[in-house]
Amino acid sequence: MISSKEKTKRHFDSTAGDYDNSDDGRFVEGMYDDLVFEIQKSAGGRILDVGCGNGNLFERLVGGKFEMFGVDFSANMIAEARAKDIRDASFLVADAEMLPFADDEFDIVVCNASFHHYVHPDAVLREMHRVLKDGGRLIIGDPYVPSFARFFVNVLVRFSDKGDYHFYGLDEMKEMFEKNGFTAVSSKRTGERTAMHIGEKWS
């Protein structure tokens, strides 16, 4: 049986070349403005995008304010991101559960439309916490499924060939943040089918 991780890798490897025109790419397009708005509240610094895909987010952040690093499980997505030659951006193939960075290295960690793929979300959050500086911000954008449908959707997605694993409610994400060392700042819907979750790291 193919694991959710392998399904995710295969799906995004296969769609990387035309990701922007795929169902996933069109869905994510509507999430960038809210994410960029939150990121731009920062004075600058080092930013890590976990599950960066083809680098679309960083294209919207050029201008010298940030030193940008992106990681993704899909080698084909990373190849697409590197081909864009985005100023001040570096991209690596990496597993979100084992980020190839030192402790306390980033001012912001971002994860957009990727968190619902992670089979071990607590392990991912612990890694995000580890690489963030004290006072750093974690910003997660993800699909939102209303509470009345979420249980059934989370049963069905395990049979998806896209590698979707679990969709989270707002309170559920706040609890996970606090469980893994973050102060939950906000968790809110940003659209009919999207949500944003913000946490901060304090020692």
Q: What is the pLDDT of residues 18-29, one digit of tens each?
A: 999 999 999 999
Least confident of 42-56, 86-100, 108-122, 151-165: 151-165
For range 164-177, the mean pLDDT: 96
Q: What is the pTM (predicted TM-score) of this model?
A: 0.96
Q: What is the average pLDDT across 85-109? A: 97
User: In terms of C-beta density within 10 A (0-12 exposed, 13-18 middle, 19 or more buried), how is residue 188 classed?
Assistant: exposed
In this predicted structure, what is the pLDDT of residue 124? Answer: 98
Measuring CA to CA, which residue among 98, 30, 25, 34 is closest to residue 55?
25
Is the pLDDT confidence value at 203 over 80? no
Helix (H) or strand (E) holding 116: none
pLDDT of 78 reads 98
Q: What is the mean pLDDT of the chain?
A: 96
> Which pLDDT band holds residue 1 (cuts at 50, 70, 90)?
confident
Place of tokens 């600058």: 44
CB 89 within 8 A of CB 69: yes
Pull the structure tokens for residue 197. 């979750």
152: domain range? 4-201
b/e 171-182 (16+ beta carbons within 10 angstroms → b): eebbebbeebbb
- How far apart (Å, rounded) are the C-alpha atoms in residues 191 and 88? 30
Check residues 182 and 203 and name the one with the higher pLDDT.
182
How many residues are listed for the chain in this entry? 203
Among candidates 34, 18, 14, which has minimal Cα distance to 194? 34
Domain harbouring 94, CATH code: 3.40.50.150
pLDDT in tens, 135-165: 999 999 999 999 999 999 999 998 889 999 9
How far is 159 from 165, CA to CA, in rounded Å? 9
Number of domains in the chain: 1
Q: In this predicted structure, what is the pLDDT of residue 160?
A: 86
